[in-house]
Amino acid sequence: MARRPMPRHEAVERHIRGRIAGLKPGDQIESDAELCDLFQVSRMTVRQATQRLVAEGAIYRISGVGTFVGEPQVHRQMGRLRSFTEEMALRGMTVSSTVLASERRAGTQEETTALRLAPQSNVVHVRRLRLADDQPMAIENVVLPPSCAWLLREDLAHGSLHQALTEQGFAPSRATGTQIAAIATDDDAALLDLPVGAPIFVERRLVTTADGTPVELTESRYAGSRFVFHIELA
């Protein structure tokens, strides 16, 4: 019995997988138009071939620019409060940070309200580039109440902020927040080694202790092509 020919979209997908196996993250691959010409197929067939690759993060698109090789993705479990250090350690990755800011400053209205501080109170601000196996993964902006000023003396390039809080009696217990999709700004792109306009996840969360006291207001900007967020609903 004659073998059925491989569907066109599978042939295109196999070709792309073979191409990216020999390329580095961020390298550009053929455009949809070039793939159409190469395989003599419609643009719809090419889109069908690339959908799963985009969903996996194996490739990503920038509108008007092209298609690029993605980064291997880190799977992060939502629904449980873990620090970045804990998440990466669970995956056998070595965590480090570059401290971009470490200071006391005047809090914004949003910050003082969220942390239940008096208007115009000072806050502790720590901004770090988070890396796993020396690859930039996220930009983390953390704002804490002035009672946490001792953190500025900690080794935040190598240590875990959550561990330090726990050791000082401010153990993070619960978090609420939001996630939105965004595109990389010039600053994001430079720090995360991404093209300007690449997809990113922006997570904002307020962390409290067991008694409900706010201890941390954080915005994390994740390289979208390097993360998969798993959500369990019951």
Q: Does the structure show a pLDDT above 60 at 121?
A: yes
pLDDT of residue 75: 47
- Looking at residue 160, its amino acid is S
220: left (phi over 0), alpha (psi -120 to 50) or beta: beta
With respect to residue 156, please indicate whether it lies within any of the assigned structural domains: yes
Question: 108 with 219, same domain?
Answer: yes
Burial class (CB in 10 A: 0-12, 13-18, 19+), 75: exposed
Quick: pLDDT tens for 66-107. Answer: 888 876 555 455 555 566 666 666 556 678 889 999 999 999
Q: Which long-range contacts (CB under 8 A, 24 or more apart) does 210-214 make?
A: 210/171, 210/173, 210/174, 212/174, 213/116, 214/114, 214/115, 214/116, 214/145
With respect to residue 1, please indicate whether it lies within any of the assigned structural domains: no
Tell me how far the alpha carbon of residue 59 is from its chain's centroid: 16
Q: Which ranges of 57-185 would DSSP assign to H, the alpha helix?
A: 84-90, 109-114, 161-167
Question: 62 with 79, same domain?
Answer: no
Average pLDDT of the segment spanning 14-19: 88
Question: 121 with 197, same domain?
Answer: yes
Q: Please give the mean pLDDT across all residues of the chain.
A: 84
* SS3 of residue 178 by DSSP: strand
Question: 97 with 192, same domain?
Answer: yes
pLDDT band per the 50, 70, 90 thresholds, residue 190: very high
> In this structure, are residues 133 and 95 in contact, taking their beta carbons and an 8 Å threshold?
no
State what percent of residues in the chain have pLDDT above 70.
83
With respect to residue 3, please indicate whether it lies within any of the assigned structural domains: no
pLDDT of residue 1: 45
Please tell me the least confidently modeled range out of 4-8, 94-98, 163-167, 195-199: 4-8
With respect to residue 48, please indicate whether it lies within any of the assigned structural domains: yes
Burial class (CB in 10 A: 0-12, 13-18, 19+), 63: exposed
Q: What's the rounded Cα separation, in Å, for the pair 153 and 55?
A: 42
> In this structure, are residues 68 and 129 in contact, taking their beta carbons and an 8 Å threshold?
no
Closest CA to 141 of 185, 103, 87: 103
Question: 205 with 189, same domain?
Answer: yes
Average pLDDT of the segment spanning 104-116: 94
Higher-pLDDT residue of 149 and 71 is 149
Q: Does the structure show a pLDDT above 90 at 18?
A: no
Overall number of domains in the chain:
2
Burial 24-37 (b: 16+ CB within 10 A, else e): ebeeebbebeebbe
What are residue 140's DSSP bridge partners?
A: 128, 220
Domain CATH for 36: 1.10.10.10
Which domain covers residue 161, as residue numbers? 74-230
Q: Looking at 69, 87, 115, which one is the last position of a domain?
A: 69
Average pLDDT of the segment spanning 25-42: 89
With respect to residue 2, please indicate whether it lies within any of the assigned structural domains: no
Average pLDDT of the segment spanning 191-220: 90
Higher-pLDDT residue of 89 and 116 is 116
